[in-house]
Amino acid sequence: MFSYYFKLGLRNLRRNPALTALMVLTLAVGVAASISTLTILHVMSGDPMPHKSNRLIVPLFDNGPTKGYAPGDEPNDNQLSYGDVQRLLASGKGERRTAIMGIGASIEPDRKDVGAFIATGAGPTKDFFAMFDVPFLHGGAWSEADDKAGADVIVLTRKLSEKLYGDEVPVGRRMKLNGHEFLITGVMDKWDPIPRFYRVVGAGAFSTEDEFFIPLSSATRHEIFNSGNTNCTADRAPGYQAFLDSECTWLQFWFELRSASDRADLQNWLDAYAAEQRKLGRLQRNAPNKLFDLMEWMEYLKIVGNDNKLSAWLAFGFLVLCLVNTIGLLLAKFSVRASEVGVRRALGASRKEIFHQFLVETAVVGLVGGVLGLALSFGALALIAMQSKALTIVAHMDWVMLIVTFAMAVGSAILAGLLPTWRACQVTPALQLKSQ
């Protein structure tokens, strides 16, 4: 019976074509507006590493000055100083540890047809690649010995490798970066976490990918300054070593715990470390020391702002208005079929059967509206992606949102059709037959 009602619903789309087209268009516009904003919110707020996000921990303590500070104020910066990250790296806490700095450097390709250019990259430790499940196309990460020695080794993204070497496997070759020869140890496969959580501060959650990675120890040995936020609250002596020895905060740090239950132990260690530093005359604010797992860190940094959430609510409000209009149109469409309902009821059809028929017909309208709404959603996302590079990263639809689009369109149509369908079932057969 369902298939019959479905075919009947498809056939009835041609009845009152203008009214049907108006219903489908109204529903499609409402679905497209809400799905477009929901898609962006879904991508922005997604968990980029759901299988281990509760084990990836960011430590944060406040080394700002006491001047102007009141208990309860937020930390002076969301990054750590070089001295602190060196002690955290040496702590042995967690299964893996890495600090990360931003790097902007010049690259001199061997290819004659490609001129020198500036590339953006990062300076982590070798644990970075295992912590964040970075896939490799060729070769692999550098070794712990390379970290200790500050060796000139480099990992390229697939995109940069193809730009410099085409289809050739470059592992083992040397390339020039900032005038120094670096040995290529690996080429990453496509790795595009969204949000770009590992270096949000300074780089942004939706910035373009880092093109290369070199050891943090190599970057500091070559006296490369951080490309990103650097916060210094006091004057420091001139020179790079003075910069490293200062309280300037410019590095992000991540622990990977063996188990989420190890977090309490890490918190105790961090509190003890901060207390020790206070005895040495540092960390003057005596502020709480915090740990954030990956999603807590995204929430703390407000990756999804209130304006994004407000946009989603406004879009759903627009969908409600479209549904109200659709209800009015369905009432008009079903009211002209009162005589048909009266005849069917007189021939023995129950109200339940009439209800099922009209509800399936409404679902057909929702299905067609969903297809059109999906096309409009792709168009809206394409227009949004043209606004900026950051929006280009988040304005794309995945399979989850594709399914949600159809479910929302059909569900909305069925919801809108409940009242008109109920009204259609109330037709009295005797009155309808008499009026004929």
Residue 74 tokens read as 């937020």
CA–CA gap between residue 311 and residue 321 (Å, rounded)? 15
**pLDDT 10s digits, 241-255:** 999 999 999 999 999
Q: What is the mean pLDDT of the chain?
A: 85
Pair of tokens at residue 18: 């203008």
252 in Cβ contact with 79 (< 8 Å): yes
Angle, CA 245 vertex, CA 243 and CA 251 arms, to 5°: 70
Angstrom distance (rounded) from CA 337 to CA 361:
13
Residue 388's pLDDT is 65
Which residues are paired to 121 by β-bridges? Answer: 103, 212
CB atoms within 10 A of CB 324: 12
**Which residues, 6 or more positions from 154, have their beta carbon under 8 angstroms from its beta carbon?**
175, 177, 182, 183, 184, 185, 212, 213, 214
Residue 153 has what pLDDT? 97
pLDDT of residue 322: 82
Residue 433 has pLDDT above 90, yes or no: no
For residue 285, name the pLDDT band (cuts at 50, 70, 90). Answer: confident
Give the model's confidence band at 436: pLDDT under 50 very low, under 70 low, under 90 confident, else very high.
Answer: low
Question: At residue 298, what is the residue type?
Answer: M
Residues 42, 401: contact at Cβ < 8 Å?
yes
Structure confidence at residue 215 (pLDDT): 97
Give the pLDDT confidence of 231-244 residue by residue, as tens digits: 998 888 889 999 99
Check whether 305 has a pLDDT greater than 70: no
- What average pLDDT does the segment 91-100 reach? 94
- Average pLDDT value for residue range 401-427: 77
The two structure tokens encoding residue 302: 């407000």
What average pLDDT does range 371-382 have in this prediction? 83
More confident residue, 299 or 206: 299
Q: Is the pLDDT of residue 134 over 90?
A: yes
Q: How confident is the model at residue 76 (pLDDT cuts 50, 70, 90)?
A: confident
Q: Average of pLDDT values for 201-218?
A: 85
Q: Lowest mean pLDDT: which of 78-92, 229-243, 374-388?
A: 374-388
Quick one: pLDDT at residue 236?
A: 81
The span from the CA of 102 to the CA of 123, in Å, is 6
Q: Determine the pLDDT at residue 431.
A: 60
Q: Which of 83-92, 130-139, 385-394 has the lowest mean pLDDT?
A: 385-394
Q: What is the pLDDT of residue 306?
A: 67
Cα 377 to Cα 363: distance, rounded to the nearest angstrom: 20
Burial class of residue 4 (count of CB atoms within 10 Å of its CB; 0-12, 13-18, 19+): exposed
Question: Which pLDDT band, with edges at 50, 70 and 90, does 58 fall under?
Answer: very high
Please tell me which residue, 279 or 195, carries the higher pLDDT value.
279
SS3 of the chain: the string is: CHHHHHHHHHHHCCCCHHHHHHHHHHHHHHHHHHHHHHHHHHHHCCCCCCCCCCCEEEEECCCCCCCCCCCCCCCCCCCEEHHHHHHHHCCCCCCEEEEEEEEEEEEECCCCCCCCEEEEEEECCCHHHHHCCCCEEEECCCCHHHHHHCCCEEEECHHHHHHHHCCCCCCCCEEEECCEEEEEEEEECCCCCCCCHHHHHHHCCCCCCCCEECCHHHHHHCCCCCCCCCECCCCCCCCHHHHHHCCCEEEEEEEECCCHHHHHHHHHHHHHHHHHHHHCCCCCCCCCCEEEEHHHHHHHCCCCCHHHHHHHHHHHHHHHHHHHHHHHHHHHHHHCCHHHHHHHHHCCCCHHHHHHHHHHHHHHHHHHHHHHHHHHHHHHHHHHHCCCHHHHHHCCCCHHHHHHHHHHHHHHHHHHHHHHHHHHHCCCHHHHHHHC
Q: Which of 226-240, 303-317, 323-337, 421-435 has the highest mean pLDDT?
A: 226-240
| CA separation for the pair 111, 124 (Å, rounded) | 28
Single out the residue of 248, 292, 361 nearest to residue 5, CA to CA. 361
Phi/psi of residue 193, nearest 5 degrees: -65, 135
